[in-house]
């Protein structure tokens, strides 16, 4: 935790020296003899120089990546070990592996035509669970669409995951959303919307409201490095910094956005490098190290509440699966590359190595848990398939307190159509 605090302080609001301004050859002026000789511009904190030099993007080496465990699950620096209990670490592992199991079953379900769409979380499980565990239960979550593990860690039941993906009568959203667009008012998880980055300025607004309430809460807003190229991200960063909002911007940098490698997305040093330019205290962490993610989010949350400050956390990870069931990632990356991350640097295997070294886990427990986990997921899956779809009238409700005339006309038009052509629709699959 000491290293996390040092990094966050170092990228905070400290006075910037000539060297950290990245002026490769510029000379700082000596001490000014009077106040009038110093720069008085209101738009920036800077010093005069008398040599023409442009700031180069590669003057300094990349922002370091904070980690706690190496790839073999060994603690690198004992001072950074969060010293979590066996029960908590087991919860980490159970959540990550159960999410993995659910992904495999629902991915195959889509391939078989049982659901319309799906997005897996392969390789990014550590970012979900490490961050979720460091939050308070009442902290408000704005997800993008690959944060199912955050909900699962908070106790969202498998039945609800399945109901949402199947759009059946058990879905709180009444079948109106695409699969993987989860939401839970009880678990303080704002319902996911499809357009990229729209959640970022919304999350800042929620954080500003929390600040005005003086509540012991923060907002965490998840997004991918591809979404960070959207204008909403830049607007959100700027508003959060200027309004001093208690928000954690959590960027999952998985290397490819939808299908574009980071080398074609930006020329700067990732997403964390943008933070200081907006006045955000920033840190880059190993997203495949669940303890590093936990430490960084826990410390950022503590300071966000205490100081009403925004933080930017960039979790470096890798998307092992396709972007979604609409994507074929073999078109833009090699099988060998994917296999490396799947076999050599996976967040689940790294945590398993740690647990084995502590004698908290063994092969028999692994086999028993995998069997049990699959059974739970399959039971929820089968139950979801048996449930009827919501009543068609749900297409017209819940927008207005009192249904206006034009919506009534649309509903009546639908039922007139079904009365004539109903035999061509699977109405027996819907609630009566």
The catalytic residue among 45, 116, 194, 357 is: 194
The catalytic residue among 181, 322, 323, 346 is: 323
Give the pair of three-digit tokens for residue 177: 């959303």
Backbone angles phi, psi at 223, to 5 degrees: -165, 160
Residue 194 bears catalytic tag: yes
What is each CA distance from 228 to 197, 198, 201, 259, 272, in whole angstroms? 7, 11, 12, 15, 11
Residue 323 bears catalytic tag: yes
The answer to whether 328 touches 322, Cβ cutoff 8 Å, is yes
Start-end of H helices in 308-362: 335-343, 347-357
CA 122, CA 124: separation in Å to the nearest integer? 6
Residue 406 bears catalytic tag: no
Closest by alpha carbon to 115, among 184, 174, 162, 151? 162
3-state SS track over 363-423: HHHHHHHHHHHHHHHHHHHHHHHHCCECCHHHHCCCCCCCCCHHHHHHHHHHHHHHHHHHH
Task: Give the length of the chain.
Answer: 432
Residue 324 bears catalytic tag: yes
CA 258 distance to own-chain centroid: 15
**What DSSP letter does each residue of 320-333 carry, written as one string?**
-S-SSTT--GGGTS
Closest by alpha carbon to 23, among 51, 55, 48, 50? 55
Closest by alpha carbon to 351, among 5, 158, 86? 86
The answer to whether 64 touches 58, Cβ cutoff 8 Å, is no
List b or e across 74-97, with b for residues whose CB sees 16 or more CB atoms inside 10 angstroms.
ebeeeebebeeeeeebbebbbbbb
Start-end of H helices in 167-230: 199-213
Q: Which residue has the tokens 């972007």?
A: 323
The catalytic residue among 131, 160, 282, 324 is: 324
Closest by alpha carbon to 305, among 222, 211, 242, 237? 211
Q: Is the dihedral of CA 145, 106, 113, 398 positive or negative?
A: negative
Tell me the catalytic residues.
108, 194, 323-324
């Amino acid at each position: 935790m000491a290293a996390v605090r040092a990094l966050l302080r170092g990228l905070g609001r400290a006075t910037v020296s000539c060297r950290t301004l990245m002026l490769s050859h510029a000379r700082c002026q000596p001490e000014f003899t009077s106040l009038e000789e110093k720069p008085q511009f209101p738009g920036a904190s800077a010093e005069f120089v008398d040599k023409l030099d442009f700031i180069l993007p590669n003057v300094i080496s990349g922002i370091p990546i904070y980690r706690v465990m190496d790839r073999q699950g060994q603690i690198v620096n004992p001072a950074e070990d969060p010293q979590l209990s066996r029960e908590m670490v087991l919860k980490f592992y159970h959540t990550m592996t159960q999410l993995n199991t659910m992904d495999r079953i629902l991915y195959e379900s889509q391939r078989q035509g049982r659901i319309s769409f799906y997005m897996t979380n392969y390789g990014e499980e550590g970012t979900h669970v490490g961050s979720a565990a460091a939050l308070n239960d009442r902290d408000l979550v704005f997800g993008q669409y690959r944060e199912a593990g955050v909900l699962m860690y908070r106790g969202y039941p498998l039945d609800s995951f399945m109901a949402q993906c199947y759009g059946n009568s058990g879905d709180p959203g009444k079948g109106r959303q695409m699969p993987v667009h989860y939401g839970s008012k009880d678990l303080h998880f704002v319902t996911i919307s499809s357009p990229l980055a729209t959640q970022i300025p919304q999350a800042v607004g929620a954080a500003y409201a929390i600040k005005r309430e003086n509540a012991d809460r923060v907002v965490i807003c998840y997004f991918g490095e591809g979404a960070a190229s959207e204008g909403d991200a830049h607007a959100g960063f700027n508003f959060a910094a200027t309004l001093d909002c208690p928000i954690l911007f959590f960027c999952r940098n998985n290397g490819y956005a939808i299908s574009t490698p980071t080398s074609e997305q930006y020329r700067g040093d990732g997403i964390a490098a943008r933070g200081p330019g907006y006045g955000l205290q920033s840190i880059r962490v190993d997203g495949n190290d669940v303890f590093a993610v936990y430490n960084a989010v826990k410390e950022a949350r503590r300071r966000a509440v205490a100081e009403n400050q925004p933080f930017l956390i960039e979790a470096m990870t890798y998307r092992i699966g396709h972007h979604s069931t609409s994507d074929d990632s073999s078109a833009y990356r090699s099988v060998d590359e994917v296999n490396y991350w799947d076999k050599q640097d996976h967040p689940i295997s790294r945590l398993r190595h740690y647990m084995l070294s502590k004698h908290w886990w063994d092969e028999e427990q692994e086999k028993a848990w995998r069997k049990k986990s699959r059974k739970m997921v399959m039971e929820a899956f089968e139950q979801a398939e048996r449930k009827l779809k919501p009543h068609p009238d749900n297409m017209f409700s819940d927008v207005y307190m009192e249904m206006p005339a034009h919506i009534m006309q649309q509903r009546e038009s639908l039922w007139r159509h079904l009365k004539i052509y109903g035999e061509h629709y699977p109405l027996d699959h819907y609630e009566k």
